[in-house]
Structure formats: structure tokens, C-alpha cells
Homo-oligomer: A and B are copies of this chain.
Amino acid sequence: MTIAPRRTRREEIIEIAARVFAKTGFRATSLAEVAAEVGVSQPGLLHHFKTKDALILAVLQQRDAEDEEWMAGALDPDDVTLETWVRVIAERNLGQPGLVRLFTLTAAESLDADHPAHEYFSQRHLHSRAALTAIVRRDQEAGRVHTDLDPEVVAIEVLAMMNGLQLFWLSAGDVDLVGLLMAHVRRYRTGAA
């Protein structure tokens, strides 16, 4: 007899906190707001996360873990190309503006060295760049991407474009996130104009 996969209160808090932090960021959001959304008292919330800092870190790590799990299901690691990688992420983000906003806002906030997620985002940026560089390099070896391009440059360009377009997309609503990204990425293709 299997036990039904019941969502723990901790998981529930993380999910709701992600939504609330996405609106006003970490620093300007009070634990009381999160607690009210969850339906517990504010000290009740602190029973599950000792400090506010611990909560935002748990939120970010949980989201990364879910993304990683989802990516593993959506893409065969041996078969990832720059174009498939970008498409899969962009299409997923399209349906989750709240999460995009959480990361856009928290990444900017965390530029401050005193921010609890400062180190987290520094590492995240470096890790993203390295991971995408590896994908680009393999595309070049397979003849899919121009070999006279520096793979590290392509990687940072693509990531910058994703972040930058997301800000406009969140701001305006007339932005074709997936279309613009794919059009951009196609220009790295061998044989592109």
C-alpha cells in the first residue's frame, strides 16, 4: 500500500512565498504577508523557516530543483542544442510570468553584497554561463554553429538576451518572447545570413 504523495506544509509555504516575493521582491515583502496568504500566523511561519533569509534561499533552491527536474524530462542531455535549450526554457517561462519576475527582481536586488541571495546569484550566473558555453561548444563541434564564434561570448549573449527580453516582456505585453529569442539564436547557425 503506497502512501499518497502529500504536500507538506513546508512545500506549501515555499510555493506561496515564491508568488508573494515575485510581486514586491524579498526586502520589501514582510513575513506577515506570506503568512496571511498561507493562512497561518507569522510566528507559525517562522516555525518552518527560522529566519526570513532562510525562506528566500529555500524558495530559490526549490525553484531551481524543479526546473532541473523538469529539464531532465523535457530534454535528452546527450541531445541538447543551443536552439532546443533556448526554446524549451523560453516556452516554459512563457507560462510562468510570476517565476520569471521572481528571478528578475531577486537577481537585481541581490547585487547588494549584503543581500542573503547575493552569493547564490553570483554562482548561478557563473554556472549558467558555463553550462551554456558547453552546449554551444558541442554545437560547434557538430557543425551546427559557426566555429569562428567564441562559445563563451555566445553563451553570455544568449543569457543576456533572455534576461533583457524578459524584462521588456514583463513590462509591456506586446513582446513575442519565444519568437524574438529563436530569431536571435538562429543567427548563430552555420549557413545563416
Contact = CB atoms under 8 A, between A and B. Distances in A.
Nearest to A184: B157
Contact of A156 (B125, B162, B165): B165
Contact of A172 (B107, B126, B172): B126
Contacts of A153: 180, 183
Interface stretch (A24-32, A68-76, A87-95): A24-32
Query: Quick one: which of A126, A157, A193 has the most chain B CB within 10 A?
Result: A157
Interface stretch (A5-13, A52-60, A108-116, A137-145): A108-116
A92 to B, nearest CB: 18
A168 B160 CA distance: 8
Contacts of A38: none
Given A125-B171, A184-B157, A108 B109 contact: yes
Given A24-B27, A156-B165, 8 more contacts: A148-B193, A156-B180, A157-B184, A159-B168, A160-B161, A161-B161, A164-B165, A187-B187
Interface of A: 23-25, 27-28, 101, 104-105, 107-109, 111-112, 114, 121-122, 125-126, 129, 146, 148, 153, 156-157, 159-165, 167-168, 170-172, 175, 180, 183-184, 187, 193
